[in-house]
Amino acid sequence: MLDHIEKLLLLQERDRQIAQLEAELADIDPHRRFALQTLEAAKNDLESLKSRVKKLETERNKLELEVKEKKQLIEKYSLQQFQTKKNPEYQALAHEIENCKRDISNIEDRELEVLEQIDATQKQVAAAAETLKQLSQRVEQQLETFAHRETSLKQRLAELARGRAELAASVDADLLPRYERLRKSKGQRAIVGIEHSVCGGCHVRLPAQVVVGCKASQEIMICPNCGRILYYTHDMNTAAAE
């Protein structure tokens, strides 16, 4: 194998490692955002349950006040009954008192329902608070793991970048710009093998003289179709697949 090719393959492998670590690094942030969103949602759940309890308690107080007012009315009507001497007026007041009693009974039924709702919602609050507590711990651990991972990936990337500069400097000065251009236009595979006599990049069948040129390892061969740099190793089978 040409020395140029060997160095270029090392550089390409280094670039592949760098790209992989960069992808892993880029993947951390969405995961971190998701963890924080989950935590935020759990906090919101708890808050909305708490405010539901407050609303129900306000309603309960309102109902209690209504009962109190109805009882005061009954007292007032009873007093008026006691003072009146006219029978129709007495009957009318008795009717009013009955109405008040019926209202009180209805309000107390409603109050009982509200109390049950308060009880059930308070249980939900306790469960949501426990969920939030556990989730907070978990998210805290996750964030720590993400931060560690980020630091170590950045360190590793810095090491790889230093090594890459050395590798790039060792590559033939004419070949390097072609490689860099190919990497921009074709992605990670700029230099490819010729297994089954097809270009390992675009998979188009290579002309016989290109395959022979690759095998001879005397000069750099280029895929006439996609422009990628080609290389040959002895373990490649160059018999064309039908």
Which residue ranges make up the site for Zn ion (CB under 5 A)? 199, 201-202, 223, 225-226, 228
Distance CA 231, CA 190 (A): 11
Rounded to the nearest whole angstrom, what is the least distance from the CB of residue 205 to Zn ion in the complex?
A: 10
- Cβ distance to Zn ion smaller for residue 160 or 221: 221
- Cβ distance to Zn ion smaller for residue 58 or 188: 188
- Cβ distance to Zn ion smaller for residue 38 or 225: 225
Contact 164, 18 (CB under 8 A): yes
Rounded to the nearest whole angstrom, what is the least distance from the CB of residue 228 to Zn ion in the complex?
A: 5
- Buried b / exposed e over 94-132, threshold 16 CB at 10 Å, is eebbeebeebbeebeeebeebeebbeebeeebeebeeeb
Report how far apart, in Å, the C-alpha atoms of 151 and of each of 25, 35, 113, 157, 158 are.
9, 19, 56, 10, 11
User: Which pair of structure tokens corresponds to residue 188?
Assistant: 């990670």
- Cβ distance to Zn ion smaller for residue 53 or 202: 202
- Cβ distance to Zn ion smaller for residue 42 or 191: 191
Distance CA 117, CA 111 (A): 10
Rounded to the nearest whole angstrom, what is the least distance from the CB of residue 222 to Zn ion in the complex?
A: 9
**Per-position DSSP letters for 186-223, written without gaps between them:** HTT-SEEE-GGGB-TTT-PBPPHHHHHHHHHTSS-EE-
Taking residue 32's Cβ as centre, other Cβ atoms within 10 Å add up to 17
Rounded to the nearest whole angstrom, what is the least distance from the CB of residue 201 to Zn ion in the complex?
A: 4
Distance CA 205, CA 198 (A): 4
Rounded to the nearest whole angstrom, what is the least distance from the CB of residue 164 to Zn ion in the complex?
A: 25
Rounded to the nearest whole angstrom, what is the least distance from the CB of residue 208 to Zn ion in the complex?
A: 15
- Cβ distance to Zn ion smaller for residue 142 or 238: 238
- Cβ distance to Zn ion smaller for residue 37 or 237: 237
Rounded to the nearest whole angstrom, what is the least distance from the CB of residue 234 to Zn ion in the complex?
A: 21
Identity at 20, one-letter amino acid code: Q
Contact 230, 199 (CB under 8 A): yes
